[in-house]
Structure 1
Amino acid sequence: MSKIKSPLRYPGGKSRAIKQILPQIPVNIREYREPFFGGGSVFFAVKQLFGQQIKTYWINDLNYDL
């Protein structure tokens, strides 16, 4: 399966830190909350990795233009 990349480019994005972030997420997660969505790199990686296991996603960012 190919990796899903964020269609958004965002200064200070977390795309390079995905390999360090994903192992910190519990394997039995049912709800995911993203307080700093930015370009969405972490969200898209989590969505691809956990798929239907996560029932609820919350995404947020202070930047209203997103």
Structure 2
Amino acid sequence: MYAGRGHAALVAEDGQAWDAVLLVRYPSRAAFARMVADPEYQQVTHLRTEALSEAVLQPTSAWG
């Protein structure tokens, strides 16, 4: 189980109607930034975008 404090969404549209949630943990925000800046990642990121009608990227900090 996970509980944490939400931070300002990095990607979100008004009126989100979620039907699924995926929780992913990265070693650090810097590691995530390196991943999304990687040219190989950027070549395939369109597949994720095309597969989703809506997406929210919500950073959190774990309680405790």
Answer yes or no: same fold by TM over 0.5. no
Q: Taking CA–CA contacts closer than 8 Å with sequence separation of 6 or more, which of the two structures ends up with the larger relative contact order?
A: 2
What's the TM-score once normalised by structure 1's chain length? 0.29
